[in-house]
Amino acid sequence: MRLLALDTSTESCSAALMLSTSEVHVRSVITERGHAELILPMIDELLREAGVRLAHLDGLAFGRGPGAFTGLRVAAGVAQGLALGADLPVAPVSSLAAVAAQVTVDAPAAGILVCNDARMGEIYWATYRCGAAGHAPLEISAERVSTPDRVLPMDEVVHVAGNGLGRHPQLRARLLAAGLQFHDGLYPRADAIARLGALLLAAGLGVSAEQALPTYVRDDVARPSSGPVTGMS
């Protein structure tokens, strides 16, 4: 499957071009701002270097959240605009699952806790069970947002990852004391988004450009608009 993916849900701004399951090209930069200015040049560079046009792809994927509100709207708006122009299906991918998918585990059924920073003293988190090779992580507790003290890993959780760990020292200390294995430096990068998106599209779970909407999780923005996110689409 040939797929373009992007993620701007955290300080990691990234784009990826999947040409096959074994060939994924990625561009990524860590920055607190400027995602809207960076993402389109990354996409243009990937397509140009591969000699591929959008119309030659099977679909798009984007990190639909949870994550930074502005970043989610950037990703959704770009995905909507590109998909509409090229008449491609879109796979909205959980930004937390994209972190879990990058965790290397010894036991296939081991649980993974993902904790991403939600600002305002809170954490976006969910737990997953690793699937077999070629399968997406299985969600075993739903995405939610809470204060760090309410992050409660299930008994089967062995691993923990996410950018929230470095920003909440007390949470990190508590999970370290619980004996969890830490996987530092993992963000919901576009190459992981591409692989998970390809699985969704192959299963017929792609959506139209108009349905490519962010998932915010927080109550005050939990109801996405029914129309396109930005004028780009």
Domains in the chain, CATH or no CATH each: 3-94+188-221 (3.30.420.40), 103-183 (3.30.420.40)
End-to-end CA separation in angstroms for the chain:
24
Contact by Cβ (8 Å): 135, 127: no
Question: Average pLDDT of 8-33?
Answer: 96
Which pLDDT score is estimated for 233?
26
What is the average pLDDT score of the chain? 91
The per-type count for the chain, helices as H runs and strands as E runs, is: 6, 10
Instruction: Report CA torsion sign: 61, 66, 69, 71.
Output: negative
Q: Indicate the pTM of the whole model.
A: 0.92
* Half-sphere exposure (Cβ direction) of 32: Cα atoms closer than 13 Å: 1
Which pLDDT score is estimated for 85?
95
- pLDDT tens readout for residues 121-136: 999 999 999 866 678 9
Amino acid letter at 148?
P
Compare 79 and 135 and report the one with higher pLDDT.
79
Which pLDDT score is estimated for 219?
63
Burial of 177 (0-12, 13-18, 19+ CB in 10 A): exposed
- pLDDT tens readout for residues 31-44: 989 999 999 999 99
- pLDDT tens readout for residues 156-183: 999 999 999 999 999 999 999 999 999 9
Contact by Cβ (8 Å): 64, 75: yes
pLDDT reading at 228 higher than 50: no
- Among 104, 109, 89, which Cα is nearest to 192's? 104
Helix or strand run (H / E) with residue 30: strand 23-30
Question: Average pLDDT of 17-40?
Answer: 96
Question: Average pLDDT of 101-127?
Answer: 92
